[in-house]
């Protein structure tokens, strides 16, 4: 009897994976686990891919920002190049008064110029301006206003924001008479970076430039190099220069002379 029951029970056993009463297919536990693992793996891979994309995007943005900043600061201290002229064919002369703005001349912070050097140079500048006007030469004032955002940030962090837009100190030093002189703005060291300035020199047939101003080791020498790169005759009035790094001037002076600039010295002072 037990054998018969066993045989009948065995013969009625549903196929593997089926429920006897209703013949419903039952999920295989191993198959389910494998499917779940595959799904988790795909999700993990997708999340990893997203993080890789985000990470690479961030790195690309950082690299681009650093590259842009490096380019901006390099341009700040690089003399420009332009179309060559024949200075002998241009008979007019101009005195350039470079960056003599109160943000720099009247600065009392840690980057302030030596007061005695400043006052002596301002005396010479006044004399040069008066003599240029008496001789019928152009007098052109140059103003430096930083426009590139990385430079503005750097100046605000390191130098109390001098030379940045919106400051009262951007005006020409109060001791100099600008009268009706032309004023050109620049945002980097070399004045020739302003194409309107170069165009004006061409229109006025100016081939000889006489330079005074500040900083001798930066904007003045960069403007001189920009002029020499274009074939202008350049004369620098040493007594009319101001610099915060006088120890650098002898080497820069020699370099400028080697490039063709003429250095002149004045001993007179304005009355």
Is a pLDDT exceeding 80 seen at residue 89?
Answer: yes
Name the residue ranges covered by the structural domains of the chain.
77-264
**Residue in the block written with tokens 């985000």:** 54
Taking residues 92-100, report their average pLDDT: 98
CA angle 82, 87, 88 (to 5 degrees): 155
pLDDT for 181-218, tens place per residue? 999 999 999 999 999 999 999 999 999 999 999 999 99
Going across the sheet that includes 182-186, the strands are 182-186, 138-144, 92-98, 206-214, 233-242, 262-264
Is a pLDDT exceeding 80 seen at residue 5?
Answer: no
- The burial class, CB within 10 Å (0-12 / 13-18 / 19+), for 41 is exposed
| pLDDT value of residue 263 | 95
pLDDT for 10-52, tens place per residue? 455 555 544 555 455 555 566 777 767 667 777 777 778 888 7
**Residue in the block written with tokens 């940030």:** 153
Find all residues with CB under 8 Å of 83, minimum gap 6, and list them: 230
Q: Which range, of 93-102, 103-112, 167-176, 192-201, averages the lowest pLDDT?
A: 103-112
Which pTM does this prediction carry? 0.75
Task: Report the SS3 class of residue 11.
Answer: helix
| pLDDT value of residue 191 | 97
Contact criterion met (CB below 8 Å) for 77 and 189? yes
How far apart are the C-alpha atoms of 81 and 84, rounded to whole Å? 9
| pLDDT value of residue 126 | 97
Find all residues with CB under 8 Å of 184, minimum gap 6, and list them: 140, 141, 142, 143, 191, 194, 196, 197, 200
Please count the other Cβ atoms lying within 10 Å of the Cβ belonging to residue 108. Answer: 7
- For residue 266, what are its two tokens? 């004045």
- The burial class, CB within 10 Å (0-12 / 13-18 / 19+), for 15 is exposed
CATH class of 77-264: alpha beta
Task: Report the SS3 class of residue 14.
Answer: coil
pLDDT for 223-244, tens place per residue? 999 999 999 999 999 999 999 9
Number of helices and strands in the chain (H, E) = 8, 6
Nearest by Cα to 242 from 221, 220, 216, 264:
216
What are the Cα distances from residue 53, in Å, to 40, 43, 50, 57, 174? 20, 15, 5, 6, 56
């Amino acid at each position: 009897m037990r054998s018969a029951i066993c045989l009948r029970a065995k013969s009625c056993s549903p196929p593997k994976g089926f429920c006897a009463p209703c013949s419903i297919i039952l999920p295989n536990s191993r198959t389910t686990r494998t499917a779940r693992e595959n799904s988790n793996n795909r999700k993990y891979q997708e999340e990893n891919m997203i993080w890789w994309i985000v990470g690479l995007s961030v790195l690309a943005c950082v690299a681009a920002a650093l590259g842009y900043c490096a380019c901006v600061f390099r341009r700040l201290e690089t003399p420009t190049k332009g179309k060559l002229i024949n200075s002998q064919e241009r008979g007019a002369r101009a005195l350039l008064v470079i960056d003599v703005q109160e943000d720099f001349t009247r600065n009392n912070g840690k980057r302030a110029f030596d007061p005695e050097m400043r006052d002596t140079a301002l005396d010479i500048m006044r004399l040069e301006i008066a003599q240029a006007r008496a001789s019928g030469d152009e007098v052109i004032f140059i103003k430096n206003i930083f426009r590139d955002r990385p430079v503005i940030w750097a100046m605000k962090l390191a130098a109390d924001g001098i030379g940045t837009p919106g400051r009262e100190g951007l005006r020409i030093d109060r001791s100099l008479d600008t009268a009706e002189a032309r004023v050109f703005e620049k945002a980097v060291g070399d004045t020739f970076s302003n194409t309107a300035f170069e165009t004006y020199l061409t229109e006025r047939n100016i081939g000889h430039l006489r330079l005074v101003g500040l900083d001798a080791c930066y904007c003045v020498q960069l403007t001189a190099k920009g002029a020499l790169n274009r074939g202008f005759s350049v004369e620098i009035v040493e007594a009319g220069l101001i610099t915060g790094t006088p120890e650098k001037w002898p080497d820069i002076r020699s370099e400028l002379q080697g490039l063709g600039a003429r250095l002149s010295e004045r001993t007179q002072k304005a009355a």
